[in-house]
Structures are given as C-alpha cells and as structure tokens.
Structure 1
Amino acid sequence: MLIILVYLTTLFIAPQLWIEPFVDMRIDYYVYPLWALAVFFSREKNPLTLTPLDKFFLLMLLWIVLSMAVNGFHERSTEIIINYTKWLVLFKLVSMTVTSADRLRTVALMLVFFALVLAVEGIEHKTGESGLGWAGQTLGWIDPEAAAAGEPGRTRWINIFDGPGVFCVVYTVGLPFVMQYVVTPFGFGTRLLGMGLVGLLLVAIYFTGSRGGFLTTMALFALFIAVRYKVSLMKIALVGGVIGAAFMLAPSHLTTLDDSSKSTKHRVEMWIEGVEMVQHNPLFGIGKGNFLKYTSKLIAHNSSIEIMGETGLPGLFFWIGLIYLSLKNVVFYVRDTEDERDKAYATALGLSVLGYIASSMFVTLEYETFYFLLGLCAALGFRLKQPIVFTERDFWAISGMTVGWGILIKAFVIIYA
C-alpha cells in the first residue's frame, strides 16, 4: 500500500514539479516498475487474467489507436497512446493491489487526506496577501463580472490540476468519502469531525469558482441522500427543488449561464462541433487528439463529447461500457457484503465516480485520476461472491446509453442553435 501512497503523492502534491530535489525527476519511471514488481511477487492475483472490465479498456485503447490510424497519425499520437497505455497499467495495478476491504478503506483515507491538504492550500491561496499558492502558482482567470465584484481570482493547483475546474475535482472526488462519516454506522465523534471536514471542502470548492464543480457538489449531495435514505421519486424532486433554490442564492458568477466572457456559449459551440465530427464519421470520428485542430478554438470541455467526436460511436461505447461495468461491480459488492462500513466505503466510491463523470460534463477530464477510481471499482469485482460477466443485457444497455447520449446532445444543440 506504500506504493499507492507514493503514487498519489506524485499525482496530487506533485513534488516533482516544485519541491527540490525532486524537480524534473520522472517519478513514473520508478513508481510503475516498482508497483508492477510488488504485484507480481504478491501472487494474490494472476496479472494475465482478463476480466470484462480489462477487455473493455483494451478495446477502448485499440479503438483509439485505430481512429488515429484511419484519420492519420499526428505529432501527439505517440503521447496519447503512451498515456492511455499507462492508464490501463494503472487500472490493472490498482485492481490487483486493493485486495481487501481494509485496503479500500486505507486508499479512501488517502484520497480524503490529499483532498483536505489541498483544501487548506486553496483556502490559504485565496485568502493570503501574496496571491501565490504553495507551489508559487497564481490565482486562475476570473470572469469580468466577478472581477468587478472584487474577486481576485479562482484557486488552482499544478500538474493536471492547474485550472480551477479540474482543481475542484480533487475536492469532489474526496467529498463522498467524507460525507459518509457524517452518518451511521460511524460513531458520534467521527460524525462530528466529518461535518467539519465537509465544511472545509465546501469552502475550498467555493473558492475554485467552478460552475461545473458547484453543480457537481449539489448533485453529489442529492445522490448521497437518495442512496442513503432510499428516497422516493417525490422526495428526490423535493430535494432537487431545495438544491435549485440554493443554486439561485449562490453568487451570480457561479450560476449565470450567460456570463460576459461567454464561456458557457463557447462550450456549447464546441459541443455543436463535436456533434458535427461524429456526423462526419460515426465510426472513427476525426481521430483522437484532433479536436482542437478541427475547431481551431477550444477543446470540447466535455469528456464524453470529446471522445465521441474524436473516436466515433464505438469509442464512446467502450468508454461508457468501462464506466457501466465499473459501477456494476460497486452495486453488486454493496448487495453482497454484510458489513455496514464496507457498504459505506463502496457506496462512497460509486458516488465519487459519478461525481467525476458529472464534472466531466463541464471540462475534459481524461486523466489518470479517473482510471485510478475505476481501478478501485475493478478491485471490488475480485471480492464478489459471483464475479460479473458481460451479458447480452449489458450490451444493449450500453448501446442504448451510447445512442441515447448522442441523440440527447444532438437535440440540445439543435434547440440551442
């Protein structure tokens, strides 16, 4: 488990980017080989065994390569292939390392720890007089309306979290694991501490000034309540109304969809172009990594649309399938286990994945953070009484989601246009 702590440290704190003597050190050259050796010698699982999840990841990687080959390789093709191969290895290593309920709890605590450390960093950055964060980074770009209201900027970090929107994901990934501590089966002291930590993360989320992060946070609270208390559709609607009212009471720079910088308008324009890409070539799209080249303006700021536009409907099918089967593992594990704390951690993991997907609707989030979380879901699959299999029903469910999402986005852009 020490190797996971080292990996998460390099991902979230990223000492290789700002702390001497680690600056410019290629940490991944050391972490991945050492991690692979640890898994090999543990002999807990056969690394060559391919689960349905592994196969979906492999097929997604192969389709990405094929989409680039059909559309012509470009200067970033090698980088993209290496990244997705690394993420596949990461996914596999995580699934074969977190082999017990105790290990899942330990990893959950690690995710909470790093979210809280960076929450303190973000709050200090926002409220400090220097305007610089721990790594010397400045505050992020702010909407002109917010700047006119006296906002100095939005918090951000470094590495893959160097934008306010993606930085907020650090907090929303950890938030479900913290929220579980507020309710039973945890004791009074833990619940009291949990409430304080939830408050700390909410302040940090607010300081990122991310609309997508704000909406994701509200969605996570609604999902947590719905799952925890098995609420009816009527109660879900009521909770939605309360959340909607809270949204309207938030500052205008977090709620307006027609900001002066037109950031929302520009995002939707990119979604329109993403639809055009898949209409141009439904099978292979325009090739992975070509979105910005195609639009000459921006990337999609939406992971699913970017994947759909660049790799076609089959690429979206494999991506959705990977998520679907990961969450299927979570659902089956919650049904199988009798320990209430194990149920709580597994449920929090599922909500963390759903929160990540919600955030990916507002910013492209194809990063290792996502595949680390899916690797944890895959790890749950090894502890099921009956491992999941890919059924015909799963095929039609994933196909329906793929086609349905394409139709929904197409309808949205028609109405918007």
Structure 2
Amino acid sequence: MARHFPKAEEGNSTLAFFFLFLYTASVLIRPHEMFLVSVEWIIIKIFIIIAFIATLAAQRPLAMLPQHWMLLALVPLIIMSGFLNGSGMIGVEQSERIFISALFPLFLYSNCITSIKRQHVLMAVCLLAALLMVHNGHVQQTAIAGAGWALDTNSVGYINLGERRITYLGFFNDPNDLGMFFVMNIPFAIYFYKKAAAFNKIIMLGVLAALFYGIYLTGSRGTMLGAGALLAVYFIVMNAGPKLFITIVALAPIAATVIASLQSNIDASADGRLEAWYAGVLMLLANPVFGIGMGQFLEEHGLVAHNSYIHVAGELGVPGYSLWGGALVFTVLTGYLIIRDQINNNKSDESEKVERSTEEANELFLNKTLFFSMMGFMITGFFISRMFTLLLYIYMGMTLASHLRLIKINPAYAAHFTMQIALKSMLYCWTIIVAVYIALKLGL
C-alpha cells in the first residue's frame, strides 16, 4: 500500500481546496439554479476544472488508492461492453459520465482535504445544503400546486390527495435522492453535536430534527428504512463482535428482500421492484462477462432496477460489479477495521492500551462518522439505482481523505489498506447479489 503514497515534498494547495469548496457548494446548494438569469451557467464545470488543474499543479503528494484504480478500470470495460452489446456510442458517453460524476470528484476530495479543518468546512456545507432542501420542502407542503421557493421546484405525487413528496434543484429533483442525502448527513449532525458546546448542541439537535423531518417529507419508504437501519448499524458495529457483524451484514440483503416481498402483497410498486431485481439477476446470468451494457437496464426491462447493486451487476457483469462493488466495500471495510481497532483498544487492560495523540483521536472520531455516512449510502442504495450518483463519490472521497490523514499520523494503519484486502473486497461485494438471488429463488 505504501507505493500509493509517493515520497514528495508536501504542498497543500489553498487554491485547489477553495475551488473544491465552491464546487461542493454549487453541486449541493445549487445557488446558480435559483435564478433564471444564471440557471444555464456552467460554474460547476468551471470550478471542478480549476480545482483539478490546481491540484495537479500544487497539491503534493498525490495519492492513487485502489478505489481510484478500480473505478478507472471501469472506463474501458464500459466502452467494450457497449460495443459488444451494439451500443458503442452509449458506452463512450457513459464512460465520460464516470469521469465527471465519479473519478474527478473522488480524486479531488481524497487529495485536497488534507486537514480536519478542511473536512469540517465541507461537512458544514453539506448540512447547510440539507437544511435549505428541508425548508424548501416545507414550503412545498403548503404552497399552491406544491411549489417551493427554489426556482421551478415542486412536490410530486397525488397533490389533490395530500401526497406531496418534496424535491429540490438539479439531481435532487427526485425525493429518493433527497432522502439519501439526508440519511448520509445524519452522522455529520451527530458528529458536530458531540463536538459542540452547550448552546451549539441545541442547534445541532435542531439540525438533526430537521433531517428526520426532511426524510419524512420525502415520502420514501426506502429512505425511512435506511434511517432506521443506520441507527441499528451503529449499535451493531459498536457492540457486536466481528463475526456477528459479518453474519448480520451477510443476512441483511435477505432481510431487505423479505421486507420488499411483504410490501409487494399490498403495493404494486414494491412488486415491480422485486421483478426488476430478478430481471437484473437474469441479465447477469445471461451476460456474466460484460453485462448488457451501461445504461441499458431501462431499455431491457422498462424500469430501472431500484437497487444499485443489482443494477451494476446486470449492466456490467462480473468484472464491472467486482470493480464498482469492490471500491465501495473496500472503503467501508477499512473504516470498520479502524473502528474495531479503536473498540478493542478501549477494552484492553490499562497496561495494554495504546496511547493516542489528540490529533489521532480526533481523526478516529471523524473516520467513524464518515463510515456511518457511507453505510447510509449502502443501505439506501439497496432500494434505488444510484450507483454513479455524485453523492457517493463526494462522501467516498471524504472518507479516503480521512484514511490518508490517519496513515500520515500513524503508519500502522496502512496494514488495513493492503491490496490483499482490496481484492478480498471485490469478492465480499458479491455477498449482496448472492443473498438477493437466494431470497428471490426461495419465492420471497
């Protein structure tokens, strides 16, 4: 793993981080889309290009981690899959999308967030964006035709029957995306609550309440389940042993499939979701090497998979899913291993405890927070197809940045970031697919 951290004179580019901050605010808050005069402006592209150039020019060292290589390897695979499935140009277009929504953001966030202070700034932007979304959604609940204060944002659903599922600007125009974002921000609010003084704790409790209110307003059952499951994951991780945790993780997809099956008896949409999952598995079995081609699930089945894992496996086959799922699982697994080290150290006898510096303790706390944010994606992503949403790679990049800082503080943590564990993660990710397939074959 050490080869991913080249020896070089250190240099933190203030310019790169400044434009990364502007990029983060632009993609999450989307202020330019609130006014007709600026709605067509391409400031998001400008900010990320400047941030990328400044990073290459002045940020040192530059790290390329296994997750970067895994996702980069998807590009030629997507193109090849497209041509083999008769949709070559679609494959090229989809590969370009990977650079814009995944590779560039992941590289920038993992390399530019070189301090906890920088991390706090971006976390605050995330929470501010979430609060604006909740407030806009609250306005949609009472406004005529469900209109929010943000330009051209309207609640969706059967308005005349009282169903008003909130939306926001840009790629947050789907209530499910809003819900996923709110769930991934819950650990951030708890983090700042624990770090805050008395008065600020009250503020953070208000932020946390707003996030749960926002989740309720999305009307997304998958999001609501995700929020509850995230709390369950916290107690499992912090209290269960590794073997019990692994067992629960392996059984979780089956449990989720059971829940979806029970809903299908009374809900046509849930029944359609199960059918889409099974269709995705059949696509994988029929095209195990290259899948049916990225972007073709909707064309083949008529609906998206409503499951990020099944969607990738069906479209990109065994190699593609192993790379995408491996990058995701490796990021979460390493975070979990660091948390287990911390728990075991706390349980050790006083004579065996490892003394940690304040800097290391703070970074460990932040790593735990980012781990649960990533778990928020993994849970909610089981019920919607958001495998290449920008949110995933923003939060994954933040997590990798924390891992890099931990290794810099204490090189012993590098033992959790070996290529061997990365390759195992590419196998572990198949637990989800196998579990869903078993549950579906049992007729659930």
The secondary structure found in structure 1 opposite 2:141 is helix
* Residue deviations 1:199-247 (CA, integer Å, cap 9, x gap): 11111110110001100110122233444xx3247xx99xx9xxxxxxx
Partner residue of 2:183?
A: 172
Aligned-partner Cα distance in 1 for 2:206–2:96: 41
Aligned-partner Cα distance in 2 for 1:37–1:398: 31
Question: 1:39 corresponds to which letter in structure 2?
Answer: T
Offset, 1:256? 7.6
Identity of aligned residues (%): 21
Structure 2 counterpart of 1:201, from 211, 235, 240: 211
TM-score in terms of structure 1 length: 0.85
Structure 2 counterpart of 1:373, from 395, 401, 405: 395
Offset, 1:261? 5.6
The secondary structure found in structure 1 opposite 2:304 is coil
Partner residue of 2:296?
A: 290
Structure 1 residue runs of 5 or longer lacking an equivalent are 241-253
1:157 equivalent to 2:168? Answer yes
Structure 1 counterpart of 2:156, from 126, 134, 140: 140
Structure 2 counterpart of 1:219, from 215, 229, 250: 229
Partner residue of 1:399?
A: 427
Aligned-partner Cα distance in 2 for 1:320–1:178: 27
Offset, 1:395? 2.2
Question: 2:239 corresponds to which letter in structure 1?
Answer: V
1:78 equivalent to 2:108? Answer no
Structure 1 counterpart of 2:319, from 301, 314, 323: 314
* Residue deviations 1:106-143 (CA, integer Å, cap 9, x gap): 2111111111121111112223345201222221125x
Deviates more, 1:2-11 or 1:356-365: 2-11
Aligned-partner Cα distance in 2 for 1:37–1:55: 20
1:364 equivalent to 2:354? Answer no
* Residue deviations 1:74-102 (CA, integer Å, cap 9, x gap): 55333311110122011111111101121
Structure 1 counterpart of 2:309, from 296, 300, 304: 304
User: For the structure 1 residues 284 and 255, does the alpha-carbon distance in structure 2 shift closer, same or farther, using more than 3 Å as the test?
Assistant: closer
User: For the structure 1 residues 327 and 397, does the alpha-carbon distance in structure 2 shift closer, same or farther, using more than 3 Å as the test?
Assistant: closer
Offset, 1:308? 0.1
- Cα contact 1:119–1:171 (8 A) shared by 2: no
Question: 2:389 corresponds to which letter in structure 1?
Answer: Y
The secondary structure found in structure 2 opposite 1:382 is helix
1:59 equivalent to 2:65? Answer no
Aligned-partner Cα distance in 1 for 2:157–2:54: 42
Question: 1:178 corresponds to which letter in structure 2?
Answer: A
User: For the structure 1 residues 16 and 65, does the alpha-carbon distance in structure 2 shift closer, same or farther, using more than 3 Å as the test?
Assistant: farther
Question: 1:61 corresponds to which letter in structure 2?
Answer: V
The secondary structure found in structure 2 opposite 1:83 is helix
User: For the structure 1 residues 199 and 29, does the alpha-carbon distance in structure 2 shift closer, same or farther, using more than 3 Å as the test?
Assistant: closer
Aligned residues: 388
Offset, 1:413? 1.8
Aligned-partner Cα distance in 2 for 1:378–1:231: 25
1:191 equivalent to 2:205? Answer no
Aligned-partner Cα distance in 2 for 1:357–1:393: 19
- Cα contact 2:145–2:154 (8 A) shared by 1: no
Partner residue of 1:3?
A: 19
TM-score in terms of structure 2 length: 0.80
1:231 equivalent to 2:234? Answer no
